[in-house]
């Protein structure tokens, strides 16, 4: 009915009320608390913080509750909130070498300085539904003994390889070089690696996962090895001009993935291993790994490789990685478009009339259709 | 541990939502756009509290230029009370507390999606367009790096080939909305997805035209009285849609009409897309052939809220 687009004010207000009711669900079931979400759905919280580009577990939990568990909607709520926050400055680079490690694994070495620390992972659990969790009285988990004491400083695998010159060095950082920030400047091309990494860190987990997967299946293969994944808390430091030294603002939990990739050398570079890098908020390993693979694939030009696949294409990847943008533009198609559709109706009726007329004028001798005009 | 956040109140937001630094950044981009008519100026678009695709570009432009004394008209598809127009008008009422109106003549700023009001705009008005894809060459060349080059070199051959191919294939230029224009003899510009019916209105328009594309991070502008020419060929001159019937409610001719399906056996009527224009005419006693028809009752009265007056 036409009223669907008229009298919008009342319809919107009613829709909001119904949404609030549906969000709450059956009121005989206790309402979720933000603390429960933050504590017990922490991987969802981490994803929302990452794609929402704002590290705040409480706000992310609130966003998940408000979004009825729709994580992209929750990330959108975070983005819309963060955009109103004042920008005080930029922190010092994180030192992930000084991470308080909760998990650290390497697939390239059996053992290494600092050791393999399995930590909390689904990796070796059998995916059998645990019906005990559905029972009302879920007991307290058993205390976990910390069997290894991780050293305060744990060398990165890439540093160990670097000592031998087997892996390309990290690019030297010049102290005065400003870091790009696509929340302050519009995305433009060519996009340097700092900008690309920022874009990927905010990008959609599913999109990066599919791109990384495509590279494994032969669309610009990069022969990756997981040099190291580490997850834990790192300090965020801020250099206070007034004080003249850096102060610690707090700690955040991050997952870092260093992918080690084969590289046989080219006209531009000697054979070495090459790096792909991923860093995300929280324990979001799938995305950290995918990010590091996409990062490596996008470095084709500096390494003298050929551009053959979507995962390498800066403009393609960076322009479509943001799920807030993507969901907005895809979903905006449900807004009224009847004015444009009217214009199309008018044209298609005209074209059809002309086509049918031309069909009627078919010359039976050779069956050839006359031109429309 | 408790995670419950401190709850800032809504009044914690600045006038018209955006902070003043952001508004200034956007105004700088707009000034550049006005200085180079039709040129797409990149700007650091912010996330807004409505989704991309809902008019975040237009909202950011309006938020950057609106002042306490402004009077805002918000339309979508030509109508003041389509759902998103209601929602965006509510946003500015809430965050800026400005006066709003349905009357085209009373508005100092008109933000629109897909239409330009039928009533000619004046020098003291600004029209803000919501733009989904600002790049008129995008559907011919997906890469921004290429299209920027093409604009730089004024290399618009591809567009003319596309229009030519339309004619060769269909006998017509098969673009009915977002019809490309050349601004001030230099830049080819997307006039936003307004039907090409509205293209003549933006040529030498007395009002300032501002275009905002939030997701694509571009603004552009057409200053008052700037030449805006719809692309065409000498033997296939640009022409707008014409309707063979007047508006069913107010009998207006030479306006853009929406087709409304009245039943499931072919009953239909055509009514003004510009609802304010239609209401004004009916208030003057002008009625169309369908104005009294029971099937059209929902359109001619009843459900529509009374037009707001300036407060």
Q: What is the CATH number of the domain that holds B38?
A: 3.40.50.11310
User: How confident is residue A131, by pLDDT bands cut at 50, 70 and 90?
Assistant: confident
Task: Mark whether B262 and B192 lie in a shared domain.
Answer: no
Residues B98 and B215 in one domain: yes
Residues 86-125 of B with CB under 8 A from A: 86-87, 90, 113-115
d(CA A238, CA B300) in angstroms, rounded, equals 63
pLDDT surpassing 50 at residue A56: yes
Q: Return d(Cα B9, Cα B6) in angstroms, integer.
A: 10
**pLDDT above 90 for A267:** no
For the cut 60, the answer to whether the pLDDT of residue A285 exceeds it is: yes
ipTM of the complex in this document: 0.84
Q: How many Cα atoms occupy the beta-carbon half-sphere of A213 within 13 Å?
A: 8
Is residue B311 in some structural domain? Answer: no
Same domain, B293 and B183: no
CA distance A338 to A333: 11
**Banded model confidence at residue B290, pLDDT cuts 50, 70, 90:** confident
Q: Average pLDDT for residues B56-69, to the nearest whole number?
A: 97
Domain membership of residue B33 (yes or no) is yes
What length does chain B have? 311
Average pLDDT of chain A is 88
Rounded distance between C-alpha atoms, residue B181 and residue B162, angstroms: 14
- Residues from chain A that touch B145, judged by Cβ atoms under 8 A, are 189-190, 315
In a domain, B240, yes or no: no
Reported as type and span, the H/E element at residue A140 is: none
Predicted local distance difference test score (pLDDT) of residue B5: 64
Residues of chain A with pLDDT > 70: what percent? 91
Q: Which of B52, B112, B117, B167 to mutate to test the interface with A (most CBs of A within 10 A)?
A: B52
User: How many angstroms away from the CA of A273 is the closest CA of chain B?
Assistant: 31
Segment A252-263 shows an average pLDDT of 93
Residues of A in contact with B85 (CB under 8 A): 8
Whether residue B63 lies inside any domain: the answer is: yes
Contacts of B76 in chain A (CB under 8 A): 335-336
Q: What is the reported pLDDT for B11?
A: 56
Same domain, B129 and B167: yes
Q: Catalytic annotation on B71?
A: no
Question: Measured between alpha carbons, how far is A178 from A330 in angstroms, rounded to an integer?
Answer: 34
Tell me how many residue pairs between chain A and chain B have CB atoms under 8 A apart: 176
Residue of B83, B143, B174 with shortest CB distance to A347: B174
- When pLDDT is cut at 50, 70 and 90, the band that residue A114 belongs to is confident
What is the span of the domain harbouring residue B264? 257-300
Task: Using CB atoms, pick whichever of A3, A34, A80 lies closest to residue B298.
Answer: A3
Q: pLDDT at residue B308 above 90? A: no
pLDDT at A86: 82
Mean pLDDT lowest for which of A40-44, A107-111, B69-73, B281-285? Answer: A107-111
Lowest mean pLDDT among A101-110, A209-218, B227-236: A101-110
Q: Which of B272, B285, B288, B302 is catalytic?
A: B272
Answer whether residue B276 shows pLDDT above 90.
yes
Domain annotation covers residue B308:
no
Distance of CA B43 to CAs A44, B55, B60, Å? Answer: 32, 15, 11
Whether B175 and B277 share a structural domain:
no
Residue with tokens 């909130």: A81
* In-domain check, residue B104: yes
Judge whether residue B302 has pLDDT over 70.
Answer: no
**pLDDT interval class at A7 (50, 70, 90):** low
- Domain boundary at B182, B213, B230, which? B230
- Domains of chain A, by residue range, sit at 11-82, 96-120+145-170+182-328, 337-373
Q: Which residue has the tokens 């080059």?
A: B149
CB contact under 8 A, B83 and A8: yes
Is pLDDT above 60 for B55? yes
Query: Does B252 reside within a domain?
Result: no
Tell whether B96 is covered by a domain. Answer: yes
Place of tokens 């400003």: A178
**What's the structural domain count of chain B?**
2
């Amino acid at each position: 009915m036409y009223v669907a687009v008229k009298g919008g004010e009342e319809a919107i207000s009613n829709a909001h009320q119904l949404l609030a009711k549906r969000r709450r669900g059956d009121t005989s079931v206790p309402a979720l608390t933000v603390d429960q979400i933050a504590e017990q759905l922490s991987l969802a919280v981490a994803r929302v913080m990452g794609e929402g580009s704002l590290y705040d577990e409480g706000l992310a939990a609130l966003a998940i509750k408000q979004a009825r568990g729709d994580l992209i909607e929750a990330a959108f709520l975070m983005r819309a909130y963060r955009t109103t926050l004042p920008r005080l400055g930029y922190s010092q680079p994180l030192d992930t070498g000084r991470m308080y490690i909760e998990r650290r694994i390497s697939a390239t070495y059996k053992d290494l300085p600092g050791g393999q620390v399995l930590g909390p992972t689904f990796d070796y659990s059998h995916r059998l539904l645990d019906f005990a969790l559905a029972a009302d009285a879920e007991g307290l988990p058993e205390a976990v003994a910390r069997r290894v004491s991780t050293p305060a400083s744990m060398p990165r695998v890439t540093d160990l390889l670097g000592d031998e010159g087997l892996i390309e060095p990290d690019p030297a950082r010049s102290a005065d070089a400003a870091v790009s920030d696509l929340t302050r400047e519009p995305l433009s091309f060519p996009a340097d690696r700092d900008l690309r990494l920022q874009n990927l860190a905010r990008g959609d987990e599913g999109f990066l996962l599919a791109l990384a997967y495509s590279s494994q299946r032969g669309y610009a293969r990069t022969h990756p090895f997981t040099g190291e994944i580490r997850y834990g808390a790192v300090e965020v430091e801020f250099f206070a001009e007034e004080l003249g030294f850096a102060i610690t603002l707090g700690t955040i939990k991050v997952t870092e993935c260093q992918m080690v990739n084969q590289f046989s050398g080219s006209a531009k570079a000697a054979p070495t291993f090459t790096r792909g890098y991923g860093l995300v908020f929280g324990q979001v390993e799938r995305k950290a790994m995918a990010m590091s693979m996409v990062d490596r694939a996008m470095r084709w030009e500096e390494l003298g490789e050929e551009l053959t696949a979507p995962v390498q294409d800066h403009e393609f990847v960076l322009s479509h990685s943001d799920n807030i943008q993507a969901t907005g533009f895809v979903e905006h198609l449900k807004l009224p478009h009847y004015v444009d559709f009217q214009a199309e109706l008018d044209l298609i009726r005209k074209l059809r009339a002309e086509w049918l007329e031309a069909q009627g004028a078919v010359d039976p001798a050779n069956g050839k259709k006359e031109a429309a005009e | 541990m408790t995670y419950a956040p401190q709850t800032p109140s809504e009044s914690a937001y600045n006038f018209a939502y955006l902070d003043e630094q952001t508004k200034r950044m956007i105004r700088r981009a707009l000034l550049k756009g006005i200085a180079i008519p039709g040129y797409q100026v990149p700007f650091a678009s912010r996330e807004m509290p409505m989704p991309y695709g809902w008019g975040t570009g237009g909202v950011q432009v309006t938020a950057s230029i609106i002042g306490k004394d402004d009077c805002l008209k918000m339309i979508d598809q030509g109508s003041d009370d389509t759902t998103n127009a209601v929602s965006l008008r509510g946003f500015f009422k809430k965050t800026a507390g400005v006066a709003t109106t349905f009357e085209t003549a009373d508005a100092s700023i008109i933000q629109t999606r897909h239409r330009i009001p039928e009533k000619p705009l004046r020098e003291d008005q600004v029209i803000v367009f919501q733009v989904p894809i600002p790049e008129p060459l995008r559907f011919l060349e997906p890469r921004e790096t290429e299209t920027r080059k093409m604009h730089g070199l004024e290399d618009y051959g591809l567009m003319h080939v596309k229009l030519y191919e339309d004619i060769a294939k269909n006998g017509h230029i098969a673009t009915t909305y977002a019809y490309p224009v050349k601004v001030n003899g230099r830049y080819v510009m997307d006039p936003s997805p307004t039907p090409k019916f509205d293209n003549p209105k933006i040529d030498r328009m007395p009002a300032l035209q501002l275009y905002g594309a939030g997701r694509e991070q571009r603004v552009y502008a057409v200053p008052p009285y700037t030449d805006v020419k719809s692309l065409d060929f000498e033997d296939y001159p640009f022409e707008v849609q014409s309707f063979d019937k007047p508006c069913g409610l107010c009998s207006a001719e030479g306006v853009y009409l929406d087709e409304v399906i009245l039943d499931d056996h072919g009953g239909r009527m055509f009514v003004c897309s510009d609802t304010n224009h239609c209401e004004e005419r009916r208030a003057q006693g002008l009625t169309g052939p369908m104005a009294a028809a029971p099937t059209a009752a929902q359109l001619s009265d009843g459900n529509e809220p009374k037009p707001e007056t300036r407060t």
